[in-house]
Amino acid sequence: MYKVIDIPGLVPFVQKYISSGWEGISTFSILVVIAFLAASYFLPKELERKHLDPTHADWLLILGVFGTFVGAKVFFIFEIWDQVFVDTPGFDGKYLYPLTHFDGFPGRPGLWSSLFSGSGLVFYGGFLFGILFISLYMIQNKLDVKAYLDAAVPSMALGYAIGRLGCFVSGDGCYGFATHADIPLLTFTYWPTSAVPSGVPVWNTPVMESAISFLFFIYFQKWARFQNFKRFSLGAQYLVLHGLARLGIEFLRVNKAVIPFFDPPVQSNIPGASGETTTFLNGYYWHGFSQSQYVSIAIILVGIYFVVKWKLWKKEPVPA
């Protein structure tokens, strides 16, 4: 017979902050699971093809997914830091209040509520933490880090492509600014329950990123992995290619500039689905490099550095 361990305060915490308001499995969650299953199919096969140990595939995937969610939430907090830790007239606990109050200041996101919510994920935080977690695992187990990372590249590209479709179907805010252009798949008018006001056509940046990442997957899966490039060539190529893609997409997305070069456009009221007006940007929004763009530039430079340092354009000699 199993003994139930009662942790004081656990049940009220779960009821209040986790289980309350749950409306079932989201489409985003379903696509995340599909991405995981797709990667779990391709990764062991590629490890076997490279004569690497496929028994490590499960841990690489689990740590990659866990690191992705941890890093994505941490970077999201960095992104909304100025909204969480704010100066409040008559209150001198700017840094204490968010730590002791789950929901934060009235009308502003809370530190803990944002950290443990189902929304608010920044990809590059997940990307960096995922790489960190699986790299530490490979170092701990004395694996060939370069070779294993190369083997994981096609699965990473496919997983990201499917994950971005999850952002699209959930309407969670990974969209571009409003546009009058009407281009199939590239522009889209979101539905009433999404983060974008219904009836407002915007640049469909999640689908753009998904399509680009699918192309990367085809490139690595169908051609690059068979070219016998030097170890970590595929990893470095992916850093450069993905960094360039994300850097470009960010020029269409609604993201704050870390250091604004000029003021963003003035927001305007746009009618929603039920006739009410909703404040939304209806002009070109980019006004300085976003957090993701700075990370993109860093990743591109890192990839180029490895390509040049190790001459990764060269190929290994084919065994006789």
- Binding positions are 164
Question: For residue 278, what are the β-bridge partners?
Answer: 270
| Residue whose pair of structure tokens reads 């509520």 in the numeric block | 113
Structural contact between residues 217 and 211, judged by C-beta atoms closer than 8 angstroms: no
d(CA 18, CA 116): 8
Between the alpha carbon of residue 262 and those of residues 62, 176, 257, 258, the distances in Å are 42, 19, 9, 12
Quote the tokens at residue 100: 């002791």
First CA to last CA distance, the chain: 61
Helix or strand holding residue 121 (H, E): none
Give the H/E segment covering residue 81: helix 81-84
127: Cα within 13 Å, side-chain hemisphere: 20
SS3 state at 189: strand
Q: What's the one-letter identity of residue 45?
A: K
Rounded to 5°, angle at Cα 305 from 302 and 148 = 70
Spatial CB neighbours of 264, under 8 Å, sequence gap ≥ 6: 257, 281, 285, 287
Sign of CA dihedral 87, 91, 93, 97: negative
